[in-house]
Amino acid sequence: MSDGGVIGQLAQALIGRRGALSAWVGVNDAIVAETLAREDFDAVTLDLQHGAVDYAGAAQAMLAVALAGKPTIARIPVDDVALASRLVDAGAAAIIAPMIDDAAAARRFAEHIKFPPLGRRSWGPRAAQSLTGLEGADYMRGANAVTLAIAMVETREALAALDAILATPGIDGVFVGPNDLSIGLSRGDAIAPDGAEVERALGEVAARAAAHGKFAGLFCPDGRRAKWAGERGFALRTVSTDLALLRAAARAELAAAR
């Protein structure tokens, strides 16, 4: 029986609590995703919410990332569960769904990632079968354990419903968006992703996720924050973004040149 191939690596890292550091890609080009996958990241996250990545670009990027031996995570636009289901067919190891505010939204999302009895994912795992090393009924029976549904916690409402979201069948973990969370907590007064209010909330999210036996993740703008988050129990940490890395390298090299 396959261990889930390149897709299964992510569940092993996150559910096994070893944790995973993921690159973050918003450029709609498989070469960018593959280039980062060939660095020492455990996974690559494609951003279809705020990034320029679309379905066709993601489908190609996931194969390029898999060639580098890494799993892909995809963040979908708000409420786009139809796209979530296409992305898991195309080989995503996990889907991150933004702005999940209550158990009903969490359930609706998870249902499209998981086959019965956990959900009602529709059959058609085009690339996912070869990337897991599972075929037909074996894939159907094995997919729920290795194809992860991750709900974003990034509003006041989500914090209030945290236990209900974490208890939702099919939800494997939660992922905090600290920018939106800071906007929500300050009622639109500030963007302070590393402010005191967000920090308090992060402690709560890590503790509640652990109590439910699920993993927590955090969007981190740099490696230092990712290390900090790892020490506070966040298993999934995304590190910087493709464009931020490009900008920082350009600035550093130009400063050295002048």
The residues annotated as belonging to the active site are: 50
Burial class of residue 213 (count of CB atoms within 10 Å of its CB; 0-12, 13-18, 19+) = exposed
- 187 vs 258, beta carbon nearer ligand 3PY: 187
DSSP assignment letter at 4? -
Phi, psi torsion values for 59, nearest 5 degrees: -60, -40
179 near ligand 3PY, rule: CB under 6 A: yes
Cβ-proximal residue to Mg ion, closest one? 177
**CA pair distance 58, 77, nearest whole angstrom:** 13
Residue 219 binding target from Mg ion, ligand 3PY, none, CB below 5 to 8 Å by type: ligand 3PY
**CA pair distance 46, 228, nearest whole angstrom:** 23
51 near ligand 3PY, rule: CB under 6 A: no
219 near ligand 3PY, rule: CB under 6 A: yes
177 near ligand 3PY, rule: CB under 6 A: yes
178 near ligand 3PY, rule: CB under 6 A: yes
Residue 178 binding target from ligand 3PY, Mg ion, none, CB below 5 to 8 Å by type: ligand 3PY
C-alpha distances (whole Å) from 218 to each of 119, 138, 201 are: 26, 32, 12
For residue 157, the SS3 value is: helix
154 near ligand 3PY, rule: CB under 6 A: yes
The least CB distance from residue 99 to Mg ion, in Å, is 7
**180, 184, 225, 236: residue in contact with ligand 3PY (rule CB under 6 A):** 180
> Is 178:219 a contact under the CB 8 Å cutoff?
yes
